[in-house]
Amino acid sequence: MFDEGQLYSPVTTGEDGTVEVHLADNHPGLHDPAYRARRSHIAAAAINAPAGTVPVIDYTEDEHRIWRLCQEQLAPKHEKYAHSEFLAAKHRLRLPTDHVPQLDHVSARLRPLTGWGYRAAPGLVPLREFYADLGARTFNSTQYLRHGSEPLYTPEPDIIHEVIGHGNQLASPRFARLTEAAGRASLRLETEDAMKFVADVFWFSMEFGVVKEHGEVKAYGAGILSSFGEMDEFGHMEHRGLDLADMGTLAYDITEYQPVLFCAESLDELDDVVGVFFDTVDDDLALRLRADAAAR
């Protein structure tokens, strides 16, 4: 699940209004016409939804089965590998385990906890739009599920990643604040280079962040905690300290397990380093940090 990349399938709209999702050559659902049609139908619902509304998806029993299986398989791994902050947020959010929730239902649970809500997206959202929405406590989420032939794997972020990973994370006031700060940072940035720097720090923190707790390295990143395979692997990867210049410039392959992770000594250090960075970064600071990395 979310094991080998974060590759959104392109979505196009024809002159006649027909919406089509174009799956990659290695996608498990490529040769399944029913799945391809389902993906296009769900994408069209997001595209055609009236402004300010989230479409209701009538999920199939097969889609509910995939959700149940993933919840069942992820739960013991969360107890073993997730930081207690994530676990406490997960218990507060109380996502259903027996059916795929509607995004509006997840929002209704999140808002009393941290003020966050969801917006439906057909696929990839432009970087600045995605981060600007984070600054307004709105998370753009897909609504489709991975192909049933490989229920514990997805080559792209589906609703399981967006909700079980990010939704549980956003139920924590601490993690919600960090995510919002990253979004607000984007509004101060003029250059795309600085925007990319912030997005890469976000990748190595809110997506693939780890932190020490009682002498053990625990995960808090949504990319790790929504991945059945990544949770078994992150403890064996190279763990570096929180170095912003390194985090914002390190090359990474989104189609592989992350071989280098940045480990905070505590959640307080995460706030002091990553949180303060998101709160204060501007184009000049991003440029200086990038230059610092290049000079090493």
Which residue type does 3 have?
D
Annotated active-site residue 161? The verdict is yes
**Is 239 annotated in the active site?**
no
**For residues 200 and 121, what is the distance between their CA atoms, to the nearest angstrom?**
21
CB-CB neighbours of 150 under 10 Å? 15
Q: Considering only CA atoms, which of 158, 207, 148 is closest in space to residue 43?
A: 158
Q: Are 224 and 210 within 8 A, CB to CB?
A: yes
Which of 90, 40, 95, 282 minimizes the C-alpha distance to 185? Answer: 282
What is the residue type of 214? Answer: H
Catalytic, 31? Answer no
Token readout for 39 is 């993906």
141, 172, 226, 227: which one is catalytic?
Answer: 226
Residue type, position 284, single letter? D
Out of 161, 180, 186, 227, which one is annotated catalytic? 161
To the query of whether residue 166 is one of the catalytic residues in this protein, the response is yes
Least Cα distance to 179 among 194, 165, 192 occurs for: 165
72-84 burial string, b = 16+ CB within 10 Å, else e? eebeebbeebbbe
Query: Catalytic pick from 107, 166, 227, 230?
Result: 166
> Could you say which of 63, 156, 207, 230 is catalytic?
207
Q: Buried (b) or exposed (e) across 223-257, using 16+ Cβ within 10 A?
A: bbbbbbbbbeebeebeeeebbbbbbbbbeeeeeeb
SS3 46: helix
Contacts of 108 (CB under 8 A, 6+ apart): none
Residues forming the active site: 161, 166, 207, 226
